[in-house]
Amino acid sequence: MTMNRRSFLKTMGWGGVAMGWPSWLTGCAHAPVRPDGAPEPRPVEALLRDGARTMWCAPHPDDECFSGTLLARSSIYYRNPTFFLILTHGDGGQCCLPEGCEPDLATIRGREMAAVAERYRVELRHEHFFNAPLPVESFPLRHQIYEKWCAQGDPQGLVVAEIRRFKPDLIVTFHPDFGATGHPEHQLAARLVTTGARLAADPAFQVDGGGGPGPAAAGGGRVGPEEPSR
Ligand SMILES: [Zn+2]
């Protein structure tokens, strides 16, 4: 059976949403822990209340829905500086607009993402890395997608450079193993940013390149306020 994106999400169910949150942010079923397994004594709400600079890293425009309440709490309610790093334009997905998606799906989803960033009051960097086309059964394996991304730019260097520039106190992303829906690009983005958090703190790691596939020329790149008004 060919599985489109909607039936894929339906099959995976909303239980995946909780897995989309970092393990150290899940507060109901487990005691909060840091990425290294140490206890996290401060609830996320306390971090946000104290003005945590918040970074969301995901592969697709629309993925912010998975963590929308937390991101809105940071950027809209507390007016914390918040930054979205989105790695693809989702051009492998479906056009769901009755009027069609002209001139192409990447352009439409890029415009939608910019509008979303404006409503969230966040800074956005929107890149153009490869997005695996549907159907789900045809998705390359995670490491194959990473190879494609590395052929297009320097995804790990890009993420490290943005972490060093923005200096987040809190990074929100997918679970590196499950990726909420199982999408390999969700897992890959999560791995890039969790690895990037460690590399960004290592002065021996030099970013060589750190670019994507031509964001400025392709209409991506950076939009929104550098520092949202508080
Ligand atoms: Zn996604």
8 domain-assigned: no
User: Can the peptide bond before residue 32 be classed as cis, meaning omega within 30 degrees of 0?
Assistant: no
Distance CA 189, CA 191 (A): 5
Is 226 strand, coil or helix? coil
Number of domains in the chain: 1
Q: For residue 93, how far is its CA from the centre of ligand 1 (angstroms)?
A: 10
**Strand, coil or helix: what is 96?**
coil
Q: Which DSSP symbol is given to 63?
A: G
Give distance in angstroms: CA of 178 to centre of ligand 1.
12
Token pair of 84 as six digits: 């979205």
How many angstroms separate the alpha carbon of residue 62 from the centre of ligand 1? 7
CATH of the domain at 136: 3.40.50.10320
Strand order in the sheet with 170-172: 170-172, 54-58, 82-88, 123-129, 221-223
From the CA of 212, how far away is ligand 1's center (Å)? 19
CA of 199 to the centre of ligand 1 (A): 25
Write the Ramachandran bin of 122: left for phi over 0, alpha for psi from -120 to 50, otherwise beta: beta
Q: What is the pLDDT of residue 220?
A: 47
What is the distance in A from the centroid of ligand 1 to the CA of 186?
6
Q: Indicate whether 156 belongs to any domain.
A: yes
Ligand 1 centre distance from Cα of residue 203 (Å) = 32
Q: Does residue 40 sit within a domain? A: no
User: In angstroms, what is the span from residue 180 Cα to ligand 1's centroid?
Assistant: 9
Is 37 domain-assigned? no
Is residue 32 one of the residues assigned to a domain?
A: no
Residues 159-184 as b/e (b if ≥16 CB within 10 A, e otherwise) read bbbbbeebebbbbbbbbbebbbbbbb
What pTM value is reported for the model? Answer: 0.82
Asked if residue 171 is part of any domain, the answer here is: yes
Confirm whether 38 is domain-assigned: no
Distance from the CA of 107 to the center of ligand 1, in angstroms? 17
DSSP conformation letters of 24-62:
GG--SSS--B-TTS-B--S-HHHHHHTT--EEEEESSTT
Q: Measured in angstroms, how far is the CA atom of residue 63 from the centroid of ligand 1?
A: 5
**Cα(5) to centroid of ligand 1, in Å?**
10
Whether residue 22 lies inside any domain: the answer is: no
Cα(204) to centroid(ligand 1), Å: 32
What is the domain extent for residue 197?
47-223
pLDDT digit string (tens) for the chain, length 230 residues: 344 544 444 433 332 222 334 444 433 446 777 767 888 788 899 999 999 999 999 999 999 999 999 999 999 999 999 999 999 999 999 999 999 999 999 999 999 999 999 999 999 999 999 999 999 999 999 999 999 999 999 999 999 999 999 999 999 999 999 999 999 999 999 999 999 999 999 999 999 766 788 544 443 466 665 554 44
Cα 86 to averaged position of ligand 1 atoms, centre (Å): 10
Cα(147) to ligand 1 centroid in Å equals 19
